[in-house]
Structure 1
Amino acid sequence: MIFVDASALTAVMAGEPAADRVLDCLESDATFFTSPVAIYETALAVARLANYTVAEALGEVRDLVGRARIAIEDIGDAHADVALAAFARFGKGRHPAALNMGDCFAYASTTLRNAAILFVGQDFSRTDLRAALAE
């Protein structure tokens, strides 16, 4: 079970250098999931980077998520509790991981499912989460 963070989705959508590594992981036999918060973050990033409307960007993100067989799982009260605990421990201004709100909800989704996390960048490597990709 692997949580797909917005940073990984954005890397693919924007053709970032890490996109091939992310796509290789997504083509594995693992089970992937993400959250509505990650979809939101990715759509905003794609809209900004590609000069798309938000609706166009959301459509592109949903296409990628569908093609990659990534389930979108709901978030609930437990996610808020774990996200707040993640911020207290790893949040921006508190820890070198500097997790923002979206990162804290990704942390919560990953933790509650005892999953690994597929991400690009350094933030989650400074937490106690298992990375889906070796650095």
Structure 2
Amino acid sequence: MLFIDASVIVAIIGQEDDAEHLMDRLSDDDGPFYVSALVRMEATLALTRQMAEAQGRNKPATPEIVGKARRLVDQFIADLEAREAMISGDVGTKALDAAQLYGKIVNHPAKLNLGDCFTYACAKAYRTRIAYKGDDFAETDLGW
């Protein structure tokens, strides 16, 4: 069981340098895979920014760019047959716990931001590991 952070989705869809490595790591895992509505939104907005910048836009993204990013994220999640992790009150409490233990706000080396705290909380609630890019979760107990 693996909860997929937005950073992995963005890296793979955005064809970043480590995209193939991350996809191989996902392929090596039997799943099931989980994402949340917050991960879906965070990945969509990050891809929108990437796509707008790639077009040389110095202006805000267009609704069409957001729509394209949204479709790409939705298709990626569907292709993985990822399950939707519900963000309940318990998950909210676990996200606050993550901020208190591992957050930027307390200057912990993990420096988890809001999205990271919810990824951590969902993984805790669903008893999964976290697929992530970077070092954010390496300083926690749920790394990949």
- TM superposition score normalised by structure 1: 0.91
Aligned length: 131
How far the C-alpha of 1:67 sits from its partner, in A, is 1.1
Offset at residue 54 of structure 1 (A): 1.7
Q: Secondary structure at the match of 1:72?
A: strand
SS at match of 2:3: strand
> Unmatched 5+ residue regions in structure 2?
53-63
**One-letter code aligned to 1:12:** I
The reply on whether 1:130 has 2:143 as its aligned counterpart is yes
Provide the residue aligned with 2:84 in structure 1: 72
Partner of 1:9: 9
Q: Deviations over 1:109-128 (max 9, x none)?
A: 11111111100000100111
Partner of 1:91: 103
Runs of 4+ in structure 1 off by over 3 angstroms are: none
Greater Cα shift, 47-56 or 116-125: 47-56
- Residue deviations 1:91-110, cap 9 Å, x none? 11311111010000000011
Higher share of residues assigned helix:
2
**Which stretch shows the higher mean deviation, 82-91 or 24-33?**
24-33
C-alpha separation in 2, matches of 1:22 and 1:4: 11
Query: Structure 2: how far apart are the matches of 1:90 and 1:73?
Result: 21
- Code of the aligned partner of 1:119: Y
- From the superposition, tell whether residues 130 and 123 of structure 1 become closer, same or farther in structure 2 (CA, over 3 Å): closer
State the structure with more CA Rg. Answer: 2
> Which whole-Å CA distance do the structure 2 matches of 1:69 and 1:21 have between them?
20
1:27-68, Cα deviation, whole Å (9 max, x unpaired): 242210110100010000000001262222111100111112
Report percent identity of matched pairs: 34
Amino acid at match of 2:136: D
Q: Distance in 2 between matches of 1:5 and 1:96?
A: 18
